[in-house]
Amino acid sequence: MFSTCSQRFAYGLALFALLSSQACSKIRLDGDLRTPSGMGSAETLADVELRNRTVEDDPLWSGAFQHQLFVRELSQVPAEEYTLLGSYLDNGAAYVIVHPAFYTYFHDWQGEDPSSPLSNALEISLAAPKWSAVAAVGTAQDKALRDFLEIATTQERLVLLVLPHSDDTPRGRAYRRFVNEVTNASPSVVVVYSRSPDEGELDAVEARRLARLWTALDKPTLRIGGGYVGRCIAGFQASVSDLIDPSKLEVLSDLSAISPDDLGDDAARRLLRPDGSLDVDRATTAMFERGLTGPNLARLARLSDAKSER
């Protein structure tokens, strides 16, 4: 149907815009969407929920967006456009998310049931009974990061996604769809690639490219999250530490997942609130106790709907 990747990309953006324009009636929030700091206005939350229940449940969306990412790779952004990305900074900071939803799509991949009314593996996992506290923590961490990405991309905050190269396996297609669903074809998202799903390190070319972007943006703070802290996140930090001032690399405990391999069931149980959500205070303490973080550990500040004045 399409002769080039650029044609598929243009088609995807046009399809997203068309379906979004058809989602014209407001809906009632069901309270499922939540971010670690409660960020996002009611209007932003309503926009996200509406899109999730209309655009992303449309068969055209679910079919088209398994095959290609509809956010730009940093390698596709001309250097002269780097400064334009500065308009998406959040009070002088950008977000770096390493391997989002790693637990669901890599650590404990269970596949997707085509007959399920739920649209992706994370939703299926959230709805399924949990047979261990470790599994519950893994899923809760993925959900917290999913909710953050939904809102940050809707508010057009600058998000740098560190993703593994994907393939055309069922998992690869499912992961592309998940990434498309949580990034919403946002112009504020750019992608760089890690060496492998098990490593957060960038190769030398990607690391230099990211460093050039960082410099063009006047060296903003990079707020880092994803999975796992002390593992892929540490790998990402190590791969850029000679090119980017380490004092500008902050790990956000709200958005950083602990590997199940670093938790026992008893420890995992202590990280869960009665409603099944993650207790970030206790998770932060667990990161410290296990020596999983560096000196720059921070908490996510509440995001307003006002973008940076840059």
- Tell me the domains of the chain and their CATH numbers: 71-298 (3.40.50)
Place 13 in a pLDDT band, splitting at 50, 70 and 90.
very low
Q: What percent of the chain has pLDDT over 90?
A: 45
User: Mind listing the pLDDT tens digit for each residue in 35-62?
Assistant: 444 455 555 555 555 555 555 555 555 5
Task: Please tell me the distance from the alpha carbon of residue 19 to that of residue 14, in angstroms, as a whole number.
Answer: 9
User: Mind listing the pLDDT tens digit for each residue in 229-274?
Assistant: 989 999 999 999 999 999 999 999 889 999 988 998 899 999 999 9
**Interval 133-145 mean pLDDT:** 91
Paired residues of 224 in beta bridges: 96, 251
Query: Given this model, what pLDDT does residue 98 score?
Result: 97
Query: Given this model, what pLDDT does residue 10 score?
Result: 47
Could you tell me where the DSSP H helices lie in 59-186? 59-64, 102, 121-127, 133-154, 170-183
- Residue located via tokens 């850029």: 240
> Which two tokens mark 198?
């098990």
Task: Please tell me the distance from the alpha carbon of residue 245 to that of residue 241, in angstroms, as a whole number.
Answer: 6
| Selected residue with higher pLDDT from 189 and 126 | 189
Closest by CA to 95, choosing from 186, 193, 223, 216, is 223
| Selected residue with higher pLDDT from 98 and 107 | 98
- Helix H or strand E encompassing 214: helix 204-216
Closest by CA to 228, choosing from 34, 97, 93, 38, is 97
Closest by CA to 287, choosing from 240, 227, 245, 223, is 227
Place 127 in a pLDDT band, splitting at 50, 70 and 90.
confident
Task: Please tell me the distance from the alpha carbon of residue 119 to that of residue 126, in angstroms, as a whole number.
Answer: 12
**Interval 16-22 mean pLDDT:** 42
Place 162 in a pLDDT band, splitting at 50, 70 and 90.
very high
Q: Are 249 and 224 in contact, with CB atoms under 8 Å apart?
A: yes
Place 82 in a pLDDT band, splitting at 50, 70 and 90.
very high
Question: What burial letters (b/e) apply to 248-286, b meaning 16+ CB within 10 Å?
Answer: bbbbbbbbbbbbbebbeeebbeebbeeeeebbbeebbeb
Q: Are 307 and 90 in contact, with CB atoms under 8 Å apart?
A: yes
| Selected residue with higher pLDDT from 164 and 304 | 164
Q: What percent of the chain has pLDDT over 70?
A: 73
